[in-house]
Amino acid sequence: MDAALDLRAAALTAFNSFGLPAHAARLVRLRSLAQLRALMAEDGWARTPRLVIGGGSNLVLRGDVPGTVIKVELAGRRLLGSTADAWLVEAGAGESWHDFVRWTLEQGWPGLENLSLIPGTVGAAPIQNIGAYGLELAERFAALDAVDLATGGVREFGPADCGFGYRDSVFKREAGRWLVTAVRFRLPRPWQAVTRYADVAQALAGAGIETPSALDISDAVIAIRRGKLPDPAQLGNAGSFFKNPVVDRERCAALLAAHPTMPHYPQADGREKLAAGWLIEQAGWKGRALGPVGCYARQALVLVNLGGACGADVERIAQAIAADVEQRFAVQLEPEPVFV
C-alpha cells in the first residue's frame, strides 16, 4: 500500500472538526476498494479494532484510538440517469458534502439545496440522516453501497433498509459494521422549492426574492448558517452537539404551561420535538464556557473548542449542560456526535 496512505501513530487533530488531540495507532486513507480488500486480507484484521471516519465533523475523540482508523476518501460523482420524474445522481463516499451539493446545482439538478454547507462527507450524510432547513437526507435518498467490515460482503441498501429516523439510521445503530462506499440520490422532477422553514422564508423575503431558484435557496441557507454556526476551520466544533429531544404530548403541555413561549414542533407520531438550543439558553449556558470549551454565543446547541480542549473537556461541559437542563425541565438531552 502507498506509504502516504498508510500511516502509523498518526495525529488525528486535523481530521476531527472539533480539533481534539488524539492519535490513531494506524491511519489508512482509503482511496479505492482494492485498497480496502488488501487491508481486510491482512493477518489479524478480524481482531483489529477499527473506526471509520469521513470528514470527522460528528466526532468526539476522548483519547488515542487503538487499531486502525479508516478515513474514507473514495472520490467520484456522476449523473446515472434521468427520467421524467427524477434525476439520479451518485457520489463517492469521500466527496465533500457541500461541494457535491453545489456541483449538482451548477449542473442543473436541484433538490439538495436546503442541505448546503453542512460539514462532512457524502458517505457520512446517510449515517446520521443529515437534515436542515426543512429537508432531511432521507427525502432525497435512493440507495447506497456499503462493505460489511466483518465479512467483506458488498451490499446495496435501499431507503427501507436504512431505518432512517431523526439523526439516525441502521448505520449509526450498528456502528463500525458498514463502510459506505457510494451514495445515490433521487432528485424529484419537476423541482419544488422547500421554503417552509421560517428562517429560509425570512431570508428570501428579506432579499426581495418571491420565486426563488434552487441556487437562491442554497445561498440563503449558506448565509443563515454563516450567521449562526461557527466555521470549524476558525473555531473547532461538531455542529449541533445535542439532538432536539422528542417528548410526549403531556410532557410538552406541562412545560408549555410554565413556559408559554417554548418552541415545539409536532411530530407525525403525535409527540413533540423541543428545541435543545432554547432549553440550554434558558438554563443559562449560552455564551458560557467551562474550561476550554464554550457554549456558542449565537447558537446554544453548538459547543466550541476555545483552544487546547481535549475530549474530557468536551464531556465535562456537555454533562454539566445536560444536568442543568434535566434539573430545570426534566428533559434529557442526548449528544448527537459519536464518542470514541
Using CB under 6 A as the binding rule, whether residue 239 contacts ligand EPU is answered as yes
Residue nearer to ligand EPU on the CB measure, 31 or 98: 98
C-alpha cell, 332: 434529557
Residue 176 · residue 51 · CB < 8 Å: yes
Using CB under 6 A as the binding rule, whether residue 301 contacts ligand EPU is answered as yes
Residue 181 · residue 145 · CB < 8 Å: yes
Q: Give the footprint of ligand EPU on residues 184-203 (CB under 6 A).
A: 199
Using CB under 6 A as the binding rule, whether residue 245 contacts ligand EPU is answered as no
Residue 295 · residue 222 · CB < 8 Å: no
Nearest to 313 by CA among 292, 330, 284, 283: 292
240 is catalytic: yes
Give the C-alpha separation, 161 to 157, whole Å.
5
Using CB under 6 A as the binding rule, whether residue 59 contacts ligand EPU is answered as no
CB of 8 to ligand EPU, least distance (A): 32
CB of 128 to ligand EPU, least distance (A): 8
Using CB under 6 A as the binding rule, whether residue 94 contacts ligand EPU is answered as no
Using CB under 6 A as the binding rule, whether residue 132 contacts ligand EPU is answered as yes
Using CB under 6 A as the binding rule, whether residue 6 contacts ligand EPU is answered as no
Sheet (strand 23-30) strand order: 6-11, 23-30, 65-72, 50-53
Give the C-alpha separation, 335 to 325, whole Å.
13
CB of 234 to ligand EPU, least distance (A): 16
**CA–CA distances in Å: residue 234 to residues 125, 227, 255:** 22, 14, 37
What is the four-CA torsion angle of 267, 138, 156, 124, rounded to 10 degrees? -110
CB of 199 to ligand EPU, least distance (A): 6
- Of the candidate residues 275, 290, 320, 331, the single one contacting ligand EPU (CB under 6 A): 275
The 8-class DSSP code of residue 262 comes to -
- Of the candidate residues 277, 294, 311, 335, the single one contacting ligand EPU (CB under 6 A): 277
Give the C-alpha separation, 136 to 164, whole Å.
10
Angle between the N-to-C axes of helices 214-228 and 97-107, in degrees from 0 to 180, rounded to the nearest 10: 160
Residue 49 · residue 150 · CB < 8 Å: no
- Of the candidate residues 240, 309, 335, 340, the single one contacting ligand EPU (CB under 6 A): 240
The catalytic position among 50, 102, 140, 167 is 167
167 is catalytic: yes
Residue 135 · residue 111 · CB < 8 Å: no
Using CB under 6 A as the binding rule, whether residue 263 contacts ligand EPU is answered as yes
Select from 2-10, 251-259, 297-305, 308-316 the region that touches ligand EPU (CB under 6 A).
297-305
The catalytic position among 169, 218, 240, 272 is 240
Residue nearer to ligand EPU on the CB measure, 105 or 300: 300
- Of the candidate residues 161, 281, 315, 326, the single one contacting ligand EPU (CB under 6 A): 281
Residue nearer to ligand EPU on the CB measure, 216 or 336: 336
Residue nearer to ligand EPU on the CB measure, 151 or 267: 267
Q: Give the footprint of ligand EPU on residues 7-36 (CB under 6 A).
A: none
Residue 184 · residue 146 · CB < 8 Å: no
Select from 86-94, 251-259, 278-286, 319-327 the region that touches ligand EPU (CB under 6 A).
278-286
29 is catalytic: no
**CA–CA distances in Å: residue 109 to residues 42, 102, 134, 175, 188:** 42, 10, 19, 32, 9
Q: Which residues contact ligand EPU by CB under 6 A?
A: 132-133, 199, 229, 239-240, 243-244, 263, 275, 277-278, 281, 286, 299-301, 336
Q: Active-site residue numbers?
A: 167, 240, 336
